[in-house]
Structure 1
Amino acid sequence: MATREATWDYRDRFGDRFARTYFRGFAGNAVSSIGVGTYLGDATDAADDRYREAVVEALESGVNVLDTARNYRHGRSERVVGEAIRESEVDREAVLLCSKGGFVAFDGERPADPADYVRERYVDPGLAEHDDIVTGNCIAPAFVSAQLDESLATLGVDTLDLYYVHNPETQLERFDRETVYDRLEDTFTVLEKRAAAGALRHYGVASWEAFRVPEDHPKYLSLPEVVRRARAAARRADNAATHLRAVQLPFNVGMADAFTVESHVGADGPQSALWFAQDAGLNVFTSASILQGRLASEMPPDVADRLQGDTLAQKAINFARSGPGITSSLVGMGRPEHVREDVAAGTFEPLGASAFDEVFE
């Protein structure tokens, strides 16, 4: 698992290559404000080879945040991330390793009969009921805990630094909001127990829509309620404090709702997800930081002119890193040539608070 000593040594090793504030804090660790995302790409051996090479290069270039999920590329992303960590010259203790559970995951490729696979893999062993699985998503405690075990085995590690419940708002397609909160609390309770036992250091919630939409949106979930449920889960698990530490959500030039939509009630009234998270002590990791590549070729000129970087992709990454409370912006790095351009974004300063605010005026 990541340690303070190893991550700060990593910062000392690479810090001079980057601009100020490139390395930021997470639970006492020093982590890069650019992270490797592993969602995109075909589930093929050739893509695996490119990913492995890219992750090794990222680790050896100053990126020590790796993000994956049990279901990404049918489980292949976790496997190559684990292999890359072992192949690189960077110690495991210097890496913030993050994964997610909550979606049905296949074993390397899509099976001929997915329904039969789900029944044999999840329903028959009692990890989930049929009704628990909504559009491939399941946040039942036993299901998520089993996926955690699968992630640990696939990655080849004993402990994950950060483990997310993956897109729980999907459950709102079938269940009411209160039921989803109840289910989250039950799953949080299991994760609190797994944290106390050492399988993970911290957990969080990774979302696509939940935290950046208005309260009346059908996929809305309240960050204040999620925090309350995590605290309740800690009490149920007899932990002194919750291990809830982070949220992951989309944030980029084209999707800035996490900053502009004030749908979470804080101490002084409605707040955006980013501001609430900062006040609540939650670290924010951004996904879709370059909008799955689209911002690498097109960006509003008035925004691009305010950002530093040699390419539009670098400017997009630096916009994402500029939001309040953001710890690291994840970028898909499935090819070594992507790594070089994306990591170089960190040699430029992100926007300061005033300049960032001016983008929205």
Structure 2
Amino acid sequence: MSIPGKATAVATQHYFQQHHSISTSTIPELDWQISQTGFGSYRVAIGQKNHEQALRQALQSGINLIDTSSNYGDGGSERLIGRVMAELIDSDEISREQVVVVSKVGYLQGFNYALAQQCKQAGRPFPNLVKYAEGLDHCIHPDFLEDQLARSLERLNLETLDVYLLHNPEYYLSWAQRRPIPLDEARRTYYQRIRLAFEFLEQAVVNGRIQSYGISSNSFPSPARSYTFTDLSHIWQIAQEIGSDHHFRWVQLPMNLLETGAATEANQPDGQTVLQFAQAHHLAVLVNRPLNAIVQESLTRLADVLPPSYPATPEEVSTAVDSCVQLETQFANQHLAGLHLDDETNQQLLDYLSVGRMLEGNWSGFGTFQNWQDVRSQFILPRSQTAVEFLSNRPNLPAEAALWLDEYVEAANIALAALSAFYQEQAAKRTKRIQETAVSADPAWQAKTLSQTAVRALRSSKGISSVLVGMRQQRYVLDILADLSQPVVVQDRSASWQTMKLNSKK
């Protein structure tokens, strides 16, 4: 049986009488009171006990906004939220009316992608489907929204969803740009599709399935000249044309200490930023990616990084990489033939035993510590470990090859450790510099850690309703709760963000 009810102004306000130390915002028009930081569920999935514990801790401690999407964990995020909420409601620890639940729609991955293929084969394809990448489609047509809303409500175990967002509809523009379709034509089609979606969503409000709706777009803060720019003023006009009593209430966008566009890019009429336009039109703003800055296609994690115990100089890294290359050459010339393998296996071993060759000439170009860690864990280690395991388990491995393998494993570990230390030291210096720059831009942003500073900068800025932070572990929840218990003055901080933008480029 679905959980009845929906978020209300009275109940959300009562929730914070129990959690009076938590900093909150009030949503315009709706009068819902929400925590200035929301529970982001991007990497949260059912079956993960630590994820369940983290969500339970958040709801019990004063975080009453949950953000998810149909494609997070292939639906597993919504299922986990539905389960935890039901348990807490059954035990009278919260009421349904105290919690604001946000979900999103648009992506076809995993189950949804397979579903779309089945519908196509049955002669009932979803209209206006955008083929974005292999195994990834996108759609905001009413037929798809109808299907997905029903599934989201079922997974969340809710009768009514408080907020339903179109999830990155600008994927259509990215697709159109690659074709290429003339910009005017692409934008005309784009906003026509959004209008159709809004008309469906208004009917969903009438039917009691959702309370309000909006758009989550990575391109709200983009320059107006950008092909994929999503113009909030145009979307507002669409909502107004549908009806003056429309329920378009929400905007979600990326913003952080390094991606300042929402507060610094004047892409709206009269020289306003998207944040200023939203505030002037009483739209609630949810900020995503507060701790994951993507600048020039590189990810910087806005969290403290400790210096390495043993720093590595560029010369030490080069020497370690060269040692691996020499050993890989030795294996190819002296040991491979003696293993008596077929040609395909020989080639695969050479490809996988290539830590040195992969890094040679490339090791200084991974950009950030996070990017290096991703390359190391997702590409280099799985390949090299597979090859090492293959050789280790091979019966009658020649003694010379076994000695070589031991030497190579040690050399590869030294090279990888040296490179990790090199990037870790760079990251430690950079994160310290980012925090110093932020505090210099606005002393009110001072906090104990960089992650707290990053969140405080956002929640202290007028126009931002809540900051969505991934909280997969209880320690992340406790870190956020510690900051939320520290009140900050919410005011126009446009000048601070402009200073941050200018100084972070130096």
CA change 1:246–1:216 in 2 (3 A) is same
Residue of structure 2 equivalent to 1:7: 12
Q: In 1, Cα distance between the equivalents of 2:189 and 2:121? A: 21
1:321 aligns with 2:476: no
How has the CA–CA distance of structure 1 residues 313 and 300 changed in structure 2, closer, same or farther, with 3 Å as cutoff?
A: closer
Q: Does structure 2 conserve the Cα–Cα contact (< 8 Å) formed by 1:7 and 1:95?
A: yes
Q: Identity across aligned pairs (percent)?
A: 30
Residue in 2 that maps onto 1:118? 116
1:59 aligns with 2:66: no
SS in 2 for 1:187: helix
Q: Cα distance, 1:84 vs. partner?
A: 1.4
Kindly state the Cα deviation for residue 289 of structure 1 after the two structures are TM-superposed: 1.4
Structure 1 residue matching 2:104: 3-state secondary structure: strand
Whichever structure has more strand as a proportion of its residues is 1
> What is the aligned residue count?
340
SS of residue matched to 2:286: strand
Pick the aligned partner of 2:246 from 242, 245, 250.
242
Considering only CA atoms, is the larger Rg found in Structure 1 or Structure 2?
2
What secondary structure is seen at the aligned counterpart in 2 of 1:60? Answer: helix
Any residues of structure 2 matched to 1:20-35 within 5 Å, and which?
22-26=24-28, 27-35=30-38
Structure-1 residue corresponding to 2:259? 255
1:216 aligns with 2:225: yes
Which residue identity does 2:57 align to in structure 1? E
Letter of the 2:160 counterpart: T
For residues 126-182 of structure 1, give each alpha carbon's deviation from its aligned partner in whole angstroms, at most 9, with x where no partner exists: 361474443422111111221111110000001011000010111012340110100
Q: Which of the numbers 195, 202, 218 marks the counterpart of 2:212?
A: 202
Contact 2:39 2:471 in 1 (8 A): yes
1:95-139 superposed Cα distances (whole Å, 9 cap, x missing partner) = 0000001111434xx9xxx5x543115774736147444342211
1:157 to 1:352, Cα distance in 2 relative to 1, 3 A = closer
For residue 110 of structure 2, give the secondary structure of its aligned residue in structure 1: coil
- For residue 320 of structure 1, report the CA deviation from its aligned partner: 1.4
285-294 or 154-163, which deviates more: 285-294
Unaligned 5+ segments in structure 2 are 1-5, 177-185, 294-299, 305-430, 500-506
Which is further off, 298-307 or 142-151? 298-307
Q: Corresponding residue for 2:108?
A: 104
Partner residue of 2:126 out of 121, 125, 128: 128
The alpha-carbon distance between structure 1 residues 251 and 63, as it changes in their structure 2 partners (threshold 3 A), is: same
Q: Tell me what 2:153 maps to.
A: 152
Partners of 1:183 and 1:355 lie apart in 2 by 35
Contact 2:256 2:291 survives alignment (8 Å)? yes
Offset at residue 325 of structure 1 (A): 0.8
State how far apart, in whole Å, the 2-side matches of 1:163 and 1:208 are: 16
Q: For residue 39 of structure 1, what is the aligned residue in structure 2?
A: 42
Deviation at 1:355, TM superposition (A): 5.8
**Structure 1 residues 352 and 94: CA distance shift in structure 2, 3 A:** closer
Distance (whole Å) between structure 2 residues aligned to residue 197 and residue 203 of structure 1? 14
Structure-2 residue corresponding to 1:83: 83
Larger helix proportion of the pair: 2
TM-score (norm 1): 0.88
Residue type of the partner of 1:294? R
Q: Does 1:294 align with 2:301?
A: yes
Q: Cα RMSD (Å) of the superposition? A: 2.2
**Aligned residue identity for 2:302:** L
